[in-house]
Amino acid sequence: MQPLLSAKDLYVRYGAVEAVRGVSFELQQGEIVALLGANGAGKSSIMNAITGLVPTASGQVMFDGKDITGSAPESLAPAGLTLSPEGRRVFGTLSVADNLRMGAFALTDKDAISAAWDRVYDLFPILRERKDQYAGTLSGGQQQMLAVGRALMSNPRVLLLDEPSLGLAPLIVDQIFDLILKLRDQGVTLLVVEQNVAKTLQVADRAYVLVSGEVVEQGKPSQLSESGTMQDAYLGAN
Ligand SMILES: Nc1ncnc2c1ncn2[C@@H]1O[C@H](COP(=O)(O)OP(=O)(O)OP(=O)(O)O)[C@@H](O)[C@H]1O
Ligand SMILES: [Mg+2]
């Protein structure tokens, strides 16, 4: 079956720094795929290159049968590919509702917009309660929900989540992982970057392990956790 999203021989460079070196991966429709690796391994660079936030030096990214290499971020959300970036990046001086509204820019159909509001508020009732509040006054966990909610407002077919549970309390972390499964059940295909390896391997169908910008191992969680590569990827120098 043709993958819904794939990268082939992807390179990302920042001046002399070669952050991503020939990475290839694919996501089938309906899968949860994890990108794992130590700090600086190149995970965010991959997510940002796919979504046009940083330039792709070489390689090819395909989405839904189309070459999207180097596409502008604002052209991808309407096509069905959205990133919830590392570090939340919510607009603190805008209300919760206005933050969400920005995520819906890709939708033009009134019914689709209304369905997106319902879906996000149903997933995160706290955002409905706080909709008129400044986003900057939300707790860290609530801001993370807002960041994911904003990404969902474009009704993506593929959602890229970069460190969705970073810095959150254990209870909220569990909610984030429950959410990942729930979204998959709703038909969303997910590429997830996470420091919480154990929990990620519980929900992921497959994972790719990165060391120094290269994929060193890939497979089902059961195959990965038995090998030493994972530990090397996290404990070793990247
Ligand atoms: N804008 C930039 N300019 C220069 N170097 C950068 C830039 N962004 C990232 N890098 C470098 O590229 C490499 C990969 O960084 P990246 O942020 O992709 O890693 P990561 O796997 O997401 O790490 P983390 O787990 O810390 O988020 C690192 O060596 C980093 O210092
Ligand atoms: Mg990162």
Residue 123 lies in a domain: yes
Res 169: pLDDT: 85
8-22, 135-149, 224-238: which range is least confident on average? 224-238
d(CA 195, CA 71): 28
Taking the model in full, what pTM does it have?
A: 0.93
Res 106: pLDDT: 84
Residue 145 lies in a domain: yes
Nearest alpha-carbon partner for 124 in 142, 140, 138: 142
d(CA 55, CA 219): 28
Nearest alpha-carbon partner for 208 in 62, 139, 194: 194
Residue 233 lies in a domain: no
Residue 44 lies in a domain: no
Res 231: pLDDT: 67
Res 235: pLDDT: 58
Percent of the chain with pLDDT over 90: 82
Residue 109 lies in a domain: yes
Pocket of ligand 1 from Cβ distances under 6 Å? 14, 17, 19, 37, 39-45, 86
How much distance in Å is there from the Cα of 109 to the middle of ligand 2? 34
Percent of the chain with pLDDT over 70: 94
How much distance in Å is there from the Cα of 203 to the middle of ligand 2? 20
Q: Which atom of ligand 1 is nearest to the CA of 163?
A: 27
Looking at every residue in the chain, the average pLDDT score rounds to 92
How much distance in Å is there from the Cα of 40 to the middle of ligand 2? 7
Q: How confident is the model at residue 172 (pLDDT cuts 50, 70, 90)?
A: confident
Q: Which ligand is nearest to the CA of 210?
A: 1
Indicate if the pLDDT at residue 225 is higher than 70. no
Indicate if the pLDDT at residue 42 is higher than 80. yes
Residue 22 lies in a domain: no
Smallest CA separation from ligand 1 atom 11, residue: 19
Q: How confident is the model at residue 237 (pLDDT cuts 50, 70, 90)?
A: very low
Q: How confident is the model at residue 111 (pLDDT cuts 50, 70, 90)?
A: very high
How much distance in Å is there from the Cα of 48 to the middle of ligand 2? 9
Residue 180 lies in a domain: no
d(CA 162, CA 148): 10
- Collapsing DSSP to helix, strand or coil, 116 comes out as helix
Ligand 1 test: best mutation among 17, 18, 21, most atoms within 8 Å of CB?
Answer: 17
How much distance in Å is there from the Cα of 85 to the middle of ligand 1? 13
Residue 105 lies in a domain: yes
- Find the domain containing 106 and state its range: 88-155
1-10, 140-149, 163-172: which range is least confident on average? 163-172
Q: Which atom of ligand 1 is nearest to the CA of 12?
A: 12
Q: Which ligand is nearest to the CA of 39?
A: 1
Total domains present in the chain: 1
Q: How confident is the model at residue 238 (pLDDT cuts 50, 70, 90)?
A: very low
d(CA 68, CA 62): 6
